[in-house]
Amino acid sequence: MFYKNWMSYINDDAKITRIAIPGSHNSATIGMNKFACCQNGTLYEQFEHGLRMFDIRLKADKKGRLFVAHGIMRGIPAEDAFKDLKRIVDETNEFFIIGLRTYMNQKIGPIKLSYNGNTAETSRLIREYLSPEKYALTDISDIGNLTMGDIRKSGKKYIIINENAEYDFSVSCPLEYPWASDVYGMKPEKFSKVILKYFDETDTEGFFGFQTQLTPNPGTENGWMKWPDDLDEMIRPFIPQIVADIAADESKLNKVNVIVGDFMTRDYMKTNEILSLNLSKGIVKAELEGEYRKAVGR
């Protein structure tokens, strides 16, 4: 039960952009080819594991049918992903973040690839499944000062972030999500230290997405031939130390917000590590702190 309502343990005055929030990278890629699959749980199962940020990338086929995408690979129908999101909305008062976009254009050698996101169909799915008039947060005029108490009073349950606000009820809310192929292609022992630089290099009044997954890329230390699940196996032992390094640095601890990774439903280790940062931040309700500590193994 804790992982389905952990936000209820957070103080009213905690700013949403300063709460440590577990999330997933390429969130809806369950069932994809081994090369493209980054998660082994549905969006709802990820919610059950405490995740509150979902990174969903879409593309349409030639008939306009919309699917989850990871590059050239096609996954589940987008409608299935929205059905999962609807279940979360229907069953909880927890607040969550939806990063929603068409899969970005790619260049693979001399080949250039571009994707159609069928904006109209995406907007239709938002309206059909997510009751956006009631639950979508669209007033982001002071997002940096928005607190859990504000969200609770408003009754809003989610925010849909899209750089160009191209979907109905989506907003162009600041979401810094630093990534570079050479860094994310490093060997894990080096990577786990180098990625901490993003705390020093990133300033935003909005959300800060800190990515912890290794990524296969040609020309990098890890190369192209390791699959996401292989790379996850390599980085997992380093996650506790990454979190400990954040907790030990006051500047990083203050700034840490959304932390995402691959294969977030394998167990609760990553979620527990991330949620432990809210104890270090001192934003867990005093009367519930003991219960929270027990739940996250602290």
- Name all domains of the chain by residue range, CATH numbers in brackets: 2-296 (3.20.20.190)
Asked if residue 26 lies in contact with residue 262, where contact means CB atoms within 8 angstroms, the answer is yes
Does residue 83 or residue 216 have the better pLDDT? 83
Question: Whole-angstrom Cα distance, residue 252 to residue 200?
Answer: 8
Q: For 183-236, how does the pLDDT look when each residue is reduced to its tens digit (9 = 90+)?
A: 999 999 999 999 999 999 999 999 999 999 999 988 899 988 889 999 999 999
Question: Whole-angstrom Cα distance, residue 129 to residue 153?
Answer: 23
Q: How confident is the model at residue 72 (pLDDT cuts 50, 70, 90)?
A: confident
Q: In this model, does residue 104 exceed pLDDT 90?
A: no
Burial of 114 (0-12, 13-18, 19+ CB in 10 A): exposed
Q: For 226-283, how does the pLDDT look when each residue is reduced to its tens digit (9 = 90+)?
A: 899 999 999 999 999 999 999 999 999 999 999 999 999 999 999 999 999 999 999 9
Question: Whole-angstrom Cα distance, residue 245 to residue 247?
Answer: 5
Structure tokens at 140: 């982001």
pLDDT at 18: 98
Q: In this model, does residue 109 exceed pLDDT 80?
A: no
Q: Which residue has the tokens 């607190």?
A: 147
* 3-class DSSP assignment, residue 62: coil
Q: In this model, does residue 159 exceed pLDDT 70?
A: yes
Q: How confident is the model at residue 1 (pLDDT cuts 50, 70, 90)?
A: confident
Q: For 111-154, how does the pLDDT look when each residue is reduced to its tens digit (9 = 90+)?
A: 666 788 899 999 999 999 999 999 999 999 999 999 999 999 99
What phi and psi, each to the nearest 5 degrees, are found at residue 57?
-120, 135
pLDDT at 217: 86
pLDDT at 113: 64
Rg (C-alpha) for the chain, rounded Å, is 18
Among 74, 54, 51, 55, residue whose Cα is nearest residue 63? 74
**Stretch 67-80: mean pLDDT:** 95
**Stretch 22-50: mean pLDDT:** 97
Q: In the chain, which ranges are E strands?
A: 21-24, 53-60, 66-70, 73-77, 96-102, 106-108, 111-113, 158-161, 170-171, 175-176, 207-211, 258-261
Q: For 160-188, how does the pLDDT look when each residue is reduced to its tens digit (9 = 90+)?
A: 999 999 999 999 999 999 999 999 999 99
Question: Whole-angstrom Cα distance, residue 57 to residue 78?
Answer: 9
